[in-house]
Amino acid sequence: MAERRLRILVGKPGLDGHDRGAKIIARAFRDAGFEVIYTGLHQTPEQIVSAAIQEDVDLIALSILSGAHNTLLPAVYELMKEKKAEDIVLMAGGVIPETDIPGLKAAGIREVFTPGTSTETIVEWVRTKVTPRA
């Protein structure tokens, strides 16, 4: 029996209204053979975690450009823990200062990609660091 394809939820938390990067990464994931669920703009941490659980995803990939990364990303991970879903990998990308990345990783975000990272680099990271949960 073939191994299940990775299922990835791509989301835009908070009031950030720019989703071009999220759509580009969603397409790169799809083209790499992953199943992709894109939740759209203005999602709350609760909506993101709920959708991730309902869709049985292996990875949550969040795009954030609003500057609220130190609040929203840890909030998503805390909800994942509350819902016993911390086995889902959480990654983020966007305009995030390098100085904030260690704190985000300590808060449960597995990897953070900054502007200029190639889609190939991100896809390769997913291929090597994320495995199907079931």
Tens-place pLDDT, residues 101-131: 999 999 999 999 999 999 999 999 999 999 9
Is residue 2 pLDDT above 60, yes or no?
no
Q: Is residue 95 part of a domain?
A: yes
Query: Whole domain around residue 62: which residue ranges?
Result: 7-129
Phi/psi at 65 (5° precision) = -125, -5
- The total number of structural domains in the chain stands at 1
Show the tokens assigned to 8: 């990835």
Is residue 74 pLDDT above 90, yes or no?
yes
Q: Is residue 2 part of a domain?
A: no
Phi/psi at 64 (5° precision) = -140, 125
This prediction's pTM: 0.96
Does residue 56 contact residue 85 with C-beta atoms inside 8 Å? no
Q: Rounded to whole angstroms, how far apart are CA atoms 69 and 12?
A: 11
Q: Is residue 36 part of a domain?
A: yes
Q: Is residue 134 part of a domain?
A: no
Q: Is residue 88 part of a domain?
A: yes
Q: Is residue 1 part of a domain?
A: no
Does residue 114 contact residue 82 with C-beta atoms inside 8 Å? no
